[in-house]
Structure 1
Amino acid sequence: MFLKHYACCSDELLIEQLNSNLDYQFFCDISLGYERLTNYKIVSQIRCELASKLSIGQLEKHLYNQWRDYIDHPDQVVVDATCYESELRYPTIQKLLWEAVDWLYRQLKRTCSALGVRMIRSKYLKWKRRYQGFSKMRRKTQKKRIPLTRALLGLLKKLIDFEQSLREHHNITFNLAYYRRVATIKKVYAQQYAHFKTGAKIKDRIVSIAKDYVRPIVRGKEIKPVEFGAKVNKLQIDGISFIEHLSFNAFNEGKRLQSTIYKAQSLTHRKTKIIGADAIYATNKNRRYVTHHNIKTDFKRKGKRPKNYKDENKLKALITKERATRLEGSFGKEKQHYHLNRVKAKTKATEILWIFFGIHTANALEIGRRMSQAQQIAA
């Protein structure tokens, strides 16, 4: 997994690199000689195995203990949140409904063929042509969207009822993935039908039938107002990043300042003296907490300026610079160079593992550079 994020390549290309690169083989403690790995799925199998046993908190404590000699100022912390987006097409109501219709229709057709039962008449091909024509339009007006949405809802309801009647009248069983996907499709229908009829906001909206755990996360950015993926509240100690909280549901990172301080202190076994965070963390509750524990921050001061305002302002500027350069810079570095720009894992557990290895691969290389510099100085 380290080599995958270090090389920033696909599973297939990683195996090809491992077959031809002696350095990669030496790193993995193997020697292939004239033999070659041909099973490209082995990387996915390893990822699934590791994902089932991942414990982020315990692993990060172990990593910090190994790296602590190369981490200066363990009592100084910066924190911010970002979203690591999933590999997902931009979801619209029509796309989501058509994906559900298309998948369920194909499954039912295959099931009917195996049982020798006549497939329900659904005019699937007619609505397929209608949807393809709609998707090619440059301007998808309300006049075009409403009738297509109504038709897709009706077609999906018809297929759901037929699938349920098939299972009730025939003694057939499917794998767990099938039942999960059907349950997701039913939930999608219920959400979109209620939204179509009432226009009410959808709570816990499903945006993909393949990744039913992904939720829209409103970030308020100019280019990307909404992102789809895992939101991570990340703390950094001397340029080394750790995951404080990871969730596929939106959360207010401003409420997680205290838990960030607890996390930092559990890693370092030192009292946190300085913490840098942006304005969303500067709530009254957090201000009272850091004041009570005598923790310096870069929060904008309320009320009258104190006598030592200039010295305090210089310290705040240094804290803000550290957060804005090293922490926010690490977000872009991980996304561009360590395979976190679009997370291509297929399940929730493997997606969390993917993010974990992307962040800590960047950490490991930074620690490696510091070790090299320390050895050069000692020599």
Structure 2
Amino acid sequence: MYRTEDKTQLSFEDFYLPFGGKLNPNNRWVQLADLIPWEDLEAEYASQFAIESGQGAPAIQFRTALGALIIKEKLGITDEETVEQIRETPYLQYLIGMQGYQDEAPFDPSMPGHSLRSLPGRASGMVHFRKRISMDMISRANEMIIPKNVKKTKDDTEAEKEENPEVENNGKLLIDATCVPGDIRYPTDLSLLNESREKLETILDVLHAERPKGATKPRTYRQKARKDFLAVIKKRRASKNKMRKAIRKQLGYIRRNLRHIEQLATVVGLNSLSRQQYRNLLVISEVFRQQALMYESKDHRISGRIVSISQPHIRPIVRGKAGTPVEFGMKISSANIDGYMFIDRCSWDPYNESGDLVMQAEKYRHRYGVYPESIHADQIYRTRGNRNWCKERGIRLSGPPLGRPPKDRGENRERKKLARQDELDRIAVEGTFGRAKRRYSMGRLMTKLAETSESQVAMIMLVMNLEKIRKDLFYVFIIAMLRSRKITKSHFPVVLGYGNMAA
């Protein structure tokens, strides 16, 4: 059940503080709350629940859910610490839509009944927020929050076209792709098979416990299998023959365990297995099929390869970087427009990002009504097909053109200068990825589900855009104050870069 509340925007002057005083309107959390159109975004979230059905505890409000996710990503803390920070800080309570300060946790930090079981109406935690606020919902929120006074919108462009039908392409589109690693250990075939064997042994124990007393337990050779695994994994550098022999042995143990489970399932069924154990059984069956096929073909590649039993959606992504040629996680194609980031594609399977150029250019046109004047991308995007597509639409694709350089030295110098400037402009998208992975949590996603991981990546982009909007508005305010001579440069020596930094 979802209960709609008063649509009147809570003012920071009305926020109740039991110890007296008022909130500072210049506080960063108050400014962030004013940038988000909460009411416009709430309708889709509320559609997941029955409105005022009268059955069950009411769900957590949308502003509370989205605000908590923003706080977590901005501060870079855990779910539990996020709840504690909200409980202790009135500014954070204002951001999530509370009417006044209260010294108690507003919701459960993890799963239902984790620590606030006795509190009515608070059975939703951060995990459920990430499930309910999907990646698509956050992406649409991102499109709404980007300020209209920073970039010309589609309505402005269409109005300009009516006055001047010959409006040309406008703006720069920076595109690139990156891998968002998941939180898994580095996978090897032998360690993956050993983990699969151990989980199957646990499932066998559960199924055997359901049989009548005195029934013979199937032999698993678990001690011998463990010794075979340790004999190879402890070696500093095992030979290929020894590694292949160890893999063959583990495949044999797993094949025997799967056969025993199939026989027990016909007798006692699988109802005694937990949801997680049943899921592991299905995943391990696919892991065994893939590993046996690679062993027989003497190959290390297979479509849809599973590298983690707990997170089977994670795939190896070949990036070709020094030190880490392969990363394990999701791959995203992102667009950078005036410093604001948009996720145009997200996939757990590897793909060639050069095929996204046309789609990203079309999305730019959908946002602003015109194609970009130039597209800045690295070399993998500069295929002949992409070059021809851009040429037909009057879009300049960054990088040197095909063919021999011109004989005219002046013209050749100008081409090199333009290509160099294009590369400098393109670096901005690389810097944004670096900031998302170092400052925020995109360097290693701690979420375990595919949908919650996607939601977290979209939330990181949203928080980064909100922070840029707040900084842009701050600098606009400073410039306006400087022009009106209400302040001088000496008032902000560090922020504006003037004067002695030590002063």
Out of 418, 437, 450, the position equivalent to 1:348 is 450
Say if 2:439 is the partner of 1:337: yes
Distance (Å, rounded) in 2 between the aligned partners of 1:366 and 1:115? 62
Say if 2:126 is the partner of 1:43: yes
Shift of 1:226: 0.6
1:183-239 CA distances to partner (integer Å, 9 max, x unpaired)?
221111111112112213322211111111111111111111111111111110011
1:273-325 CA distances to partner (integer Å, 9 max, x unpaired)?
1110111111111111111111122221122446755444433332211111x
Distance (Å, rounded) in 1 between the aligned partners of 2:447 and 2:199? 20
The match for 1:14 is: 82
Secondary structure at 1:70's aligned position in 2? coil
The match for 1:230 is: 330
The match for 2:342 is: 242
The match for 1:322 is: 425
Distance (Å, rounded) in 2 between the aligned partners of 1:310 and 1:68? 38
The match for 1:70 is: 150
Out of 370, 392, 405, the position equivalent to 1:270 is 370
Give the direction of change, closer, same or farther, for the CA distance of 1:167–1:283 in structure 2 (3 Å limit). same
The match for 1:180 is: 279
Say if 2:445 is the partner of 1:377: no
Secondary structure at 2:184's aligned position in 1? coil
Give the direction of change, closer, same or farther, for the CA distance of 1:118–1:266 in structure 2 (3 Å limit). farther
Distance (Å, rounded) in 1 between the aligned partners of 2:141 and 2:274? 33
The match for 1:108 is: 204
Say if 2:320 is the partner of 1:220: yes
Contact in 2 for aligned 1:72/1:238 (Cα 8 Å): no
Distance (Å, rounded) in 1 between the aligned partners of 2:71 and 2:400? 42
Written as runs of structure 1 = structure 2, the 5 A alignment for 1:356-367 is 356-367=458-469
User: In the alignment, residue 14 of structure 1 is paired with which amino acid?
Assistant: T
Shift of 1:154: 0.8
Secondary structure at 2:133's aligned position in 1? helix
Contact in 2 for aligned 1:81/1:233 (Cα 8 Å): yes
Count of aligned pairs: 375
Give TM-score, length-normalised by structure 1: 0.91
Give the direction of change, closer, same or farther, for the CA distance of 1:148–1:216 in structure 2 (3 Å limit). same
User: In the alignment, residue 467 of structure 2 is paired with which amino acid?
Assistant: L
Shift of 1:18: 1.9
More helix as a share of residues = 1
Contact in 2 for aligned 1:229/1:248 (Cα 8 Å): yes
Secondary structure at 1:68's aligned position in 2? coil
Secondary structure at 1:210's aligned position in 2? coil
The match for 1:79 is: 175
Distance (Å, rounded) in 2 between the aligned partners of 1:132 and 1:88? 21
1:36-88 CA distances to partner (integer Å, 9 max, x unpaired)?
4583301122222223x744653443234xx2322379721111111110111
Q: Which runs of 5+ in 1 are unaligned?
A: none
1:223-277 CA distances to partner (integer Å, 9 max, x unpaired)?
1111111111111001111111111111111121111101111122232111101
Shift of 1:138: 1.9
Secondary structure at 1:344's aligned position in 2? coil
Distance (Å, rounded) in 2 between the aligned partners of 1:17 and 1:111? 45
Shift of 1:137: 2.5
Say if 2:143 is the partner of 1:61: yes
Give the direction of change, closer, same or farther, for the CA distance of 1:20–1:115 in structure 2 (3 Å limit). farther
Say if 2:194 is the partner of 1:98: yes
Out of 268, 276, 293, the position equivalent to 1:194 is 293
Shift of 1:356: 0.7
Q: Which runs of 5+ in 2 are unaligned?
A: 1-68, 111-124, 154-169, 482-503
Say if 2:386 is the partner of 1:303: no
Distance (Å, rounded) in 2 between the aligned partners of 1:109 and 1:178? 12
User: In the alignment, residue 43 of structure 1 is paired with which amino acid?
Assistant: M
Distance (Å, rounded) in 2 between the aligned partners of 1:361 and 1:94? 40
Give the direction of change, closer, same or farther, for the CA distance of 1:35–1:56 in structure 2 (3 Å limit). closer
Say if 2:248 is the partner of 1:150: yes
User: In the alignment, residue 61 of structure 1 is paired with which amino acid?
Assistant: E
Contact in 1 for aligned 2:88/2:103 (Cα 8 Å): no
Distance (Å, rounded) in 2 between the aligned partners of 1:71 and 1:38? 38
Say if 2:277 is the partner of 1:208: no
Give the direction of change, closer, same or farther, for the CA distance of 1:63–1:140 in structure 2 (3 Å limit). farther
Secondary structure at 2:442's aligned position in 1? coil
Q: Matched residues, percent identical?
A: 25
Which deviates further from its counterpart, 97-106 or 299-308?
299-308
1:163-193 CA distances to partner (integer Å, 9 max, x unpaired)?
1222222244256554432222111111111
Say if 2:102 is the partner of 1:33: yes
Secondary structure at 1:345's aligned position in 2? coil
Shift of 1:8: 0.8
User: In the alignment, residue 271 of structure 1 is paired with which amino acid?
Assistant: Y
Distance (Å, rounded) in 1 between the aligned partners of 2:216 and 2:366? 63
Give the direction of change, closer, same or farther, for the CA distance of 1:43–1:348 in structure 2 (3 Å limit). same
Contact in 1 for aligned 2:201/2:220 (Cα 8 Å): no
The match for 1:252 is: 352
Which deviates further from its counterpart, 34-43 or 225-234?
34-43
Higher relative contact order (CA 8 A, sep 6+): 1
Out of 169, 177, 185, the position equivalent to 1:89 is 185
Contact in 2 for aligned 1:297/1:316 (Cα 8 Å): no
Which deviates further from its counterpart, 108-117 or 75-84?
108-117
User: In the alignment, residue 15 of structure 1 is paired with which amino acid?
Assistant: V
